Structure 1
Amino acid sequence: MKTTLVLSTALAGMAFAATAQEVNVVSWGGAYEVSQVEAYNKPFTAETGITVNMIAADNPSTPLKAQIEANNVTGDVFDVEVSDAIRLCDEGALVEIDPAMLPAAPDGTPAVEDFIDGALQDCAVANIFWGTVIAFDTTKFSGDKPASAADFFDTEKFPGKRGLPKSPKRTMYLALIADGVPAGEVYDVLATPEGVDRAFAKLDTIKNDVIWWEAGAQPVQLLADGEVVMATGYNGRFFDAMVGEGKPFEIIWDGQYMDMDMFVIPKGAPNPEAAMEYLKFATDTQRLADQAKYIAYGPSRKSSAALVGMYQDGKTEMAPHMPTNPQYLETAVMDDPEFWADHDAEMTERFNSWLASS
């Protein structure tokens, strides 16, 4: 009986491999994509024979929404932010994911207990925790160096251009932190008209000194080219520039914005079975720990933490560079996906009007 079962399982696997030879994964490009290729894609292809086609986007939710609206879905797995995953799931555009399908931790702990709180949604599974942080070029400051969110807004003490993302979600929290709002109260304040006005008033103080960016690679390039002296951006991108490329940058962890990236599968994906196999493989304990060899993002599974060691250079300990480092979490603002799922449209409209005003 056992032999028959093993043979049946093997034949089913062969049939699956024969019918699904590729999976299209839409992600964010750059150093982050490299980490996924090395930690997820290469071993997945080696184990299954399925080719992974990586497609880069400034924000994968943009082509995902466009493909859904056009009723022409060409991607199988999309790497998106939590608020987009929740909203699209609520709209019925994504495949629901049963956590019981996901691999258990090495000690047998079920996936539903092993993933960090919030990392499992009805239609999404998180792969990384990451932070939007401030970084500065150390060669631009001969005396005191900036050390806080407030310093980012202090152009008198620390003159020079700033790099900020063209996004209310990635700017308004920082303005409130710099204005003295405790990290744990940011969303309480932002939920009021007075709080929104307060954030824009703080942004007004540096508006003329800002160069706006829209893709994750841009703040690193702005710093490297000397167009700005400070910029906010994704901690893994700055880490790659600092440790991987030797750039003279330093990260300010005060007021970092903590978020997750999640894998989702849209309804109508061309290779749905391969997509689910990829999602399960890429979010197991070992694969999430392996990704940290290539970029400084925290794995979404508890069991992966103990397996995180050195950077690929073999000499840089990754723990001090992780956004989930306990000392960095003390002043971190945790993303509120429900808030943004409900308020993103109105905040974006107000933000764009503010940008257009003189």
Structure 2
Amino acid sequence: MFNVLKSSRRMLLMATGVMALAAPAVAADTLTVVTFGGSFESAVDKAFFVPFTAKTGTNIVKEDYDGGLAKLRGMVEAGNTTWDLIDMETNDAIAGCDEGLLQKLDPKLLGDTSDFIPGAVLPCAVASMVWSTIYAYDTTRLTTAPTTIGDFFDVTKFPGKRGMRKSPKVALEWALIADGVPVKDVYKVLGTPEGLDRAFKKLSTIKSQVVFWDAGAQAAQLLADGAVSMTMAYNGRIRVAQQQDKRPFAIVWDGQVYDYEWWAIPKGAKDTDAAKQFVSYASGPDTIWKLSNYIAYAPPRKSAVPQVDKAVLPYLPLAPDNFKNGLQIDAQFWADNFDSINNRFTTWLSQ
């Protein structure tokens, strides 16, 4: 009897083993993350995505986009959100939260929120870094070095095409600064009908010389190709071009418009738990600073700054020498006014 039971048990264990081998493995979580692509995505990949996958086993699928809420709004309204985590500009993070397109963020995911730079935590998003819009030029193509925002608009003294993002953001701020408005008064002026007219009038003085770009990677490429003599760009993209591609580019920091970048979880995300886990991981004080070593954007946690490689610090937007005439973008202004101003901008482009 004992032998029969022993034999039966052996057969059962063998059968169970065969079934275990035949059964499919439990699939790892897959996190679909949307970013602005290019060298920024490459830096995020090294600093956050690859280590997170190694730590958790979560597979990350990356998609590129150029900002805005239209596609996200369509997904949410259709009840078919295919993104789990989204990299956003500030005005989109504010408007997306107000419209109910984003999930509320649990502050417990972030640990000590007082460690973040003021304004770096929103109800639906947390800052991933501080970045800046600057302009850059090729030092081998200009005999005189430009130094101010006014020089960007001076096509007589500094001839050649200008590259600009196809957006009214920053373009209108720069137009006012170039027209003599002090940085501290830019949004006070831009918030009036007369100030908006003034900004468009100044922008029109170089319209025929502007090559507009959509994706951040295009700015450095336009400069490298000689299609423009100077271009609006994201500071980190130009620093990558200087370092990795050995491009003879120089950055003009005067009038830089700096902003936060944000992680947010869309409403209806199919893997919210994995998205929350990533936000907690990437926002941690032991992790968040690592991005700065791959691209020149600053960490938004106070305790993280000392951990950044000292050789990188002079190239960050918040470095004292770069910050003398900087302007923080008024995200609430753009959240409230982007659609109407962008409609006017689109009409202006077509005229």
User: Considering the TM-score relative to the shorter chain, is it more than 0.5?
Assistant: yes
Paired-residue identity, %:
44
Distance 1:101 1:29 in 2: 26
Task: Please report the RMSD computed on the Cα atoms of aligned residues, expressed in angstroms.
Answer: 1.5
- Which of 48-57 and 291-300 deviates more? 48-57
Shift of 1:157: 0.5
Distance 2:208 2:109 in 1: 51
Q: Which residue of 1 aligns with 2:136?
A: 135
Q: Which residue of 2 aligns with 1:117?
A: 118
Letter in 1 for 2:141: K
TM-score, normalised via structure 2 length: 0.90
Are the aligned partners of 2:72 and 2:101 in contact in 1 as well (CA < 8 Å)? no
Q: Confirm or deny that 1:325 pairs with 2:319.
A: yes
- The structure-2 alpha-carbon separation of the partners of 1:204 and 1:60, relative to structure 1 and needing over 3 Å to count, comes to closer
TM-score, normalised via structure 1 length: 0.88
Letter in 2 for 1:127: S
Distance 1:52 1:24 in 2: 6
Q: Confirm or deny that 1:28 pairs with 2:46.
A: no
Distance 2:68 2:168 in 1: 18
Are the aligned partners of 2:93 and 2:262 in contact in 1 as well (CA < 8 Å)? yes
Pairing 1:194-343 to 2, within 5 Å after superposition:
194-309=194-309, 317-343=311-337
Are the aligned partners of 1:21 and 1:51 in contact in 2 as well (CA < 8 Å)? yes
Are the aligned partners of 2:130 and 2:299 in contact in 1 as well (CA < 8 Å)? yes
Distance 2:236 2:161 in 1: 22
Q: How many pairs are equivalent?
A: 327
Q: What does the per-residue CA deviation read over 1:229-264, in whole Å, with 9 as the maximum and x for residues that have no partner?
A: 000011111110011210011000000111111011
Pairing 1:65-144 to 2, within 5 Å after superposition:
65-103=73-111, 110=112, 112-142=113-143, 144=144
Shift of 1:19: 7.1
Q: Which residue of 1 aligns with 2:19?
A: none
Shift of 1:69: 2.9
Paired residue secondary structure (1:66):
helix
Letter in 1 for 2:253: W
Q: Which residue of 1 aligns with 2:193?
A: 193
Tell which structure's C-alpha radius of gyration is larger.
2
Q: Confirm or deny that 1:50 pairs with 2:51.
A: no
Q: Which residue of 1 aligns with 2:347?
A: 353
Q: Confirm or deny that 1:161 pairs with 2:161.
A: yes
Runs of 5+ consecutive residues of structure 1 not aligned to the other structure: 1-17, 104-109, 311-316
Are the aligned partners of 2:28 and 2:59 in contact in 1 as well (CA < 8 Å)? no
Distance 1:245 1:71 in 2: 43
Superposed structure 1 runs of 4+ greater than 6 Å apart:
none
Distance 1:181 1:326 in 2: 22
Letter in 1 for 2:139: T
